[in-house]
Amino acid sequence: MSAPAAPARASGIAGTAGRALPGLVLLLVVGLVGVALQAGLRAAGTAGGIPLPDVEYVLWAILLGLLIRNTVGVPAVFRPGVATYEFWLKTGIVLLGARFLLGELARLGGLSLGLILIDMVVATAVILLVGRAFGLSGKLSTLLAIGTSICGVSAIIAGRGAIDADDEDSGYAIAAILALGAVALFSFPAIGHALALTDTQFGLWAGLAVDNTAETTATGAAYSPQAQQVAVAVKNTRNALIGVVVLVYAVYWSTRGGVAVAPGRRARGAFVWRTFPKFVIGFVVVSALATAGVLGKADVKSLGNLSKWAFLLCFAGVGLNFDLREIARSGIRPLVVAALGLVVVAGCSLVLVLLTSDLLGTG
């Protein structure tokens, strides 16, 4: 009686893939139109001798997605496929590991860890103090602090369950973080070019200061491929701290009526592992294979090209999933608190990057 289980599973997988196909096609079309717009604008500037700005396909794809989502909307038939954009983000990050040797990754990780710890203290203090001044609840301020200091939406979702926050608070925090991620995506590259930051400097800055992983990756890509690689490596270091940071907040709130964390080293270790972003491990494993020579130059090149295709789908999905009406409904106070946190963290991390550039040879 149990024999049909495998065919049933196969049928279920085929059905899921079939439902996702229209949305995947939409992601691909939006991404390719973004590439065409970048190439077209560049060609028009060259032909006319006009110094037109070289707007990266990343920004075009996100803008097109935003336009579609907030005008005609995304019909239900496309939504399953469009919702896969986070899968493509994680896939692209894992494949990008092929471009990093472990020595370089360790150097960036070690450097970023020290800067991240400073930023975390600054961000947490600013968010909690400003949140109190604006009359936000302690748990909403905590979610904003977690999202700003670690990895955006993923950290907020993990923190929500750990501190027993309600849906309204988590919704406000997610909306604020997404809105500010969009602001950073369009403003950071302009600031970086104005300050003549090197690719490494900008990648460090983006990896330290931009909250959400998708926006961090896109912000780096909008500056240069090298900046994207550095931004992803630094952001992965931030992401790796999510379990520990959320655990600390969970323990704190358990003494104030929140969800108590089960005692014991094993239970706490399981909590950290459950919240840890597994794609970070994939990134390191692929980097280790490249470092050991298991992946040849042709393999690294192929994986790099595949990561670009994955990011193409991801960036289109970022725009198609960004609903401006949800941001408007979240209210102004959480947004103001998070915005002040972003400004302080961005300024602090930029100063730190510039101060350490000569010392560490990243300038």
pTM for this one? 0.79
| pLDDT score for 7 | 54
Query: Is residue 6 helix, strand or coil?
Result: helix
Residue 205 within any structural domain of the chain: yes
Element (H, E) at 152: helix 152-163
Residue with tokens 């894992």: 94
- 5 in any annotated domain: no
CATH for 345: 1.20.1530
**pLDDT for position 151:** 78
- The rounded distance, in Å, linking the Cα atoms of 164 and 130 is 22
* In the predicted structure, residue 97 carries a pLDDT above the cut 80: yes
pLDDT tens digit sequence for 133-174: 988 888 888 888 888 888 788 888 888 877 878 777 888 888
Burial of 131 (0-12, 13-18, 19+ CB in 10 A): buried
Residue 35, in any domain of the structure? yes
Distances (CA, A) of 4 to 10, 12, 13, 15, 18: 10, 12, 14, 16, 21
Number of domains in the chain: 1
Residue 188: inside a domain: yes
Average pLDDT over residues 71-93: 91
Q: In this structure, is residue 13 part of a structural domain?
A: no
Confidence of residue 88 (pLDDT cuts 50, 70, 90): very high
Alpha helix ranges (H) inside the chain: 5-48, 57-69, 79-82, 85-96, 102-133, 138-149, 152-163, 167-194, 199-209, 213-223, 225-239, 242-254, 265-275, 279-291, 297-320, 324-329, 332-360
In a domain, 2, yes or no: no
Tens-digit pLDDT profile for residues 212-240: 888 899 999 889 989 999 999 888 888 88
Asked if residue 4 is part of any domain, the answer here is no
Structure confidence at residue 190 (pLDDT): 92
Confidence of residue 260 (pLDDT cuts 50, 70, 90): very low
Please report, rounded to a whole number, the percentage of residues in the chain having pLDDT higher than 70. 88
Instruction: Supply the range of the domain harboring residue 103.
Output: 18-360
Is 7 inside any structural domain? no
